[in-house]
Amino acid sequence: MLDLTVGEAVHGGWCVARAESGQVFFVRHALPGERVRAVVTQTTSRFVRADAVEILQAAPERVSAPCPYAGPGGCGGCDWQHASLTAQREIKAQVIGQQLRRIAGLERAVTVEPLPGDAEGLGWRTTVRFAVGKDGQAGLYRHRSHQIVRVSDCLIAHPLVTEAGVTRERWPGARWVEVAVAPGTGERAVLPSGRPGSRQAAGSRRDTGAPRFLTQRAAGRDWRVAAAGFWQVHPGAADTLAEAVLDGLRPEPGETALDLFCGAGLFAGVLAEAVGPAGRVVAVEHDAAAVRDARFNLRSTPWARVHRGDAAEVLHRIGRNGASVAVLDPPRTGADRALIEALCAGQARPSPAGEPALRRIGYVSCDPATLARDIAEFGRYGWQLDRLRAFDAFPMTHHVESLAILVPPAE
């Protein structure tokens, strides 16, 4: 048992404490400025991980966690239930600033904005994957573990997810059960994995009566999304991000826009409306199901075309197509160097035929570390961070959604 005075919060839901010996501790369930009694959970050659099990001197921002499973040894899904929502957003803003400073060498004041309808930070998660034990009971994983915590309800899950009652049933032979819902229509899909060793694909069982698609509502219209496909998990995120992308890129009628990692086509769709029939949208997505959804969702705007494949490879194959604005929404691992090179080195300057240069790039990210890394990579080609917005799309967790708007070097 250790007595520690906790310092700043860092990426991943930890706070840093340093012993007089210089040893570094990454502590969960604590807040900056607190004095805590902690139990070591892991030791490495460079640092020690620990859980704060007793608060000796509490920070003013500390609150009682609403979920009984959120403490040490409990569910690992939430990192900051013991902090007020205001404090959570301040911590996330500080973490984004840390990553930009440490990795990209940028000093930037950051504000994390709440999403519409988010008063208490609970009941928002529209997709939840429950782990299933050998006994067929569903629960959620402990932090950094494959041990399953038996839970009655998950408080950050959307009410439609809770109503599915996954944790109150048995799921023999399943490894996990995913629940996805569409709040705008009330649709719900319960998708158990196939039995181990069977040919049945994960999430493909039909005997549950699960729909193949959900109808999500955003940007004033409906979007078809595969039941096991990607969609923003906070009900207010898709609308907010679509509006922010349009505001940041400022597409004009007749322009060509790129949408890389387009998913079901949300950004491609709003960009297509903005550039109009005289313009063009080139969208790229690797996942086959998402490509089918995007093509379905963009069928009324034939000037928006969806290509399937790796974003960098597609750009190298077809070129920029005269695009003047681009948005990319890569997975948590970020964009690779080949893609950034394709956008910046070979694509961002006018061609001999007078093809316009890219004038703005929007980068949507759910990971501050890879965002900062990729902003630094864009910087190698002279691109600069023009503005940054951050959104609390994952309350109670350490995750945060960001939109960086990048502009090319001045002539």
Least confident of 118-122, 154-158, 186-190, 236-240: 118-122
Q: Which residues contact 256 (CB under 8 A, 6 or more apart)?
A: 275, 279, 280, 281, 282, 321, 322, 323, 324
344 tagged catalytic:
no
Q: Nearest CA to 3 among 20, 143, 72?
A: 20
What homologous superfamily does CATH list for 237-407?
Vaccinia Virus protein VP39 (3.40.50.150)
Q: How confident is the model at residue 411 (pLDDT cuts 50, 70, 90)?
A: low
Q: Tokens for 357, please give them.
A: 């240069």
Mean pLDDT of 377-381: 96
| pLDDT tens by residue, 222-251 | 999 999 999 999 999 999 999 999 999 999
pLDDT at position 405 is 98
Task: Give the C-alpha separation, 14 to 121, whole Å.
Answer: 19
| pLDDT tens by residue, 254-308 | 999 999 999 999 999 999 999 999 999 999 999 999 999 999 999 999 999 999 9
Say yes or no to pLDDT of 353 above 60.
no
Mean pLDDT of the chain: 93
Domain boundaries, the chain: 1-61, 127-226, 237-407
CATH of the structural domain 1-61, one choice from 2.60.120.480, 1.10.1060.10, 3.50.50.60, 2.40.50.140: 2.40.50.140
Dihedral angle over CA of 259, 262, 266, 270, nearest 10: 10
Mean pLDDT of 151-169: 97
Q: How confident is the model at residue 194 (pLDDT cuts 50, 70, 90)?
A: low
Q: How confident is the model at residue 158 (pLDDT cuts 50, 70, 90)?
A: very high
| pLDDT tens by residue, 92-145 | 999 999 999 999 999 999 999 999 988 899 999 999 999 999 999 999 999 999
Least confident of 109-123, 189-203, 388-402: 189-203
Q: Nearest CA to 70 among 88, 56, 91?
A: 88
Say yes or no to pLDDT of 345 above 80.
no
Task: Give the C-alpha separation, 169 to 163, whole Å.
Answer: 12
Say yes or no to pLDDT of 352 above 70.
no
pTM of the entire predicted model = 0.93
Output 233 or 356, whichever has higher pLDDT: 233
What percentage of the chain has pLDDT greater than the value 70?
A: 93
Say yes or no to pLDDT of 86 above 70.
yes
| Active-site position among 67, 78, 154, 366 | 366
